[in-house]
């Protein structure tokens, strides 16, 4: 039925800062989801190749520290350059299995020179086409020491059966105006991706659902102390300062009424499945629609710049 959508939340750990091995794990997870006739699978923020946990463990803010420079260089080498086809096989699997994908990646953006990296959320449709790459607008706290700020180009929504999907990275979900930019384009299935931990997902997931009267899927990754590969630069320094658990999951789903469909799942690695009914969205929009009948665009209105930003414009 076109009003029903089967989704899978991929709560997995990366093979930390190893893009080749992490891609292999992502591909295996997509195939596992496809066996259950999943129509949308969502992976956590920065899963490919991993979240920069070292910054909190290695005096990340200390100026010109060689340890952080060397780990950062390793991170950049394992970032994804989409233009060179590094996601092509994932796109192929999406098409072969008729499955849409939201995937959190660290992007080494060629259109920004190819040396800075961005926390990006990639949407691949069921035809295997990359339809948007949303670069996180504002990295949070120590993330700013390794990730560059993005732009509005990826603030886009996409049709998926009767649903309209859009997504944001981590604390962007706390930013009212980017949320509104998606709502105004008709979003009714909101994707929120996180590095992991229920302290992020347990409140905002239900809040966004209640505000937007949409389904909200929050997907987090996992990370334990033993997940740091031993060949990581400065492994000893990282492991000595690391807590036992760095990301405990917390993936969950809230319905358009703001109530739990799937409460935050902790410590469990694997796929979480649910089927969503589009009709529930119309039911909840009857009494509140924040960009529709319960809005006053004559009084307040949002302007969004979706131009992809670049330092260089070539006129040959």
State the catalytic residues: 45, 136, 170
DSSP symbols for 175-204: -HHHHHHHHTTT--EEEEEESS-HHHHHHH
> 19-35 and 88-96 are packed helices; what angle lies between their axes, rounded to 10 degrees?
0
- Token duo for residue 306: 């979706």
C-alpha 30/C-alpha 311 separation (Å) is 36
Residue spans of alpha helices (H) in 161-294: 176-183, 198-212, 235-241, 279-285
> 176-183 and 198-212 are packed helices; what angle lies between their axes, rounded to 10 degrees?
50
Cα atoms in the Cβ-side hemisphere of radius 13 Å centred on 273? 11
C-alpha 96/C-alpha 112 separation (Å) is 32
C-alpha 172/C-alpha 139 separation (Å) is 9
267-296 burial string, b = 16+ CB within 10 Å, else e?
eeeebbebebebebbeebbeeeebbeeeee
């Amino acid at each position: 039925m076109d009003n029903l959508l089967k989704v899978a939340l991929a709560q997995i750990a990366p093979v930390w800062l190893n893009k080749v091995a992490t891609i292999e794990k992502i591909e295996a997870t997509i195939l596992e989801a496809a066996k259950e006739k999943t129509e949308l699978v969502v992976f956590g923020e920065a899963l490919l190749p991993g979240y920069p946990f070292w910054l909190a463990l290695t005096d990340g803010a200390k100026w010109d520290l060689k340890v952080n420079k060397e780990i950062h260089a390793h991170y950049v080498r394992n970032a994804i350059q989409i233009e060179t086809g590094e996601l092509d096989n994932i796109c192929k699997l999406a098409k072969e299995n008729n499955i849409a994908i939201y995937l959190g990646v660290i992007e080494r953006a060629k259109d920004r020179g190819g040396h800075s990296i961005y926390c990006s959320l990639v949407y691949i449709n069921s035809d295997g086409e990359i339809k948007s790459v949303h670069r996180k607008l504002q990295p949070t706290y120590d993330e700013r020491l390794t990730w560059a700020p993005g732009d509005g180009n990826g603030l886009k929504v996409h049709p998926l059966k009767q649903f309209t999907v859009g997504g944001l990275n981590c604390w962007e979900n706390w930013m009212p105006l980017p949320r509104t930019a998606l709502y105004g384009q008709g979003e009714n299935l909101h994707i929120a991706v996180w590095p992991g931990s229920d302290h992020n997902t347990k409140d905002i997931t239900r809040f966004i659902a209640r505000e937007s009267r949409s389904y909200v899927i929050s997907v987090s990754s996992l990370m334990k102390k033993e997940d740091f590969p031993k060949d990581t630069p400065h492994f000893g320094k990282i492991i000595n300062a690391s807590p036992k658990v760095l990301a405990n999951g917390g993936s969950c789903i809230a319905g358009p009424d703001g109530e739990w469909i799937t409460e935050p799942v902790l410590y469990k690695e694997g796929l979480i499945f649910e089927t969503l009914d589009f009709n529930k969205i119309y039911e909840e929009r009857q009494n509140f629609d924040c960009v529709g009948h319960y809005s006053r665009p004559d009084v307040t209105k949002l302007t969004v710049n979706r131009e992809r930003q670049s330092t260089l414009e070539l006129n040959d």
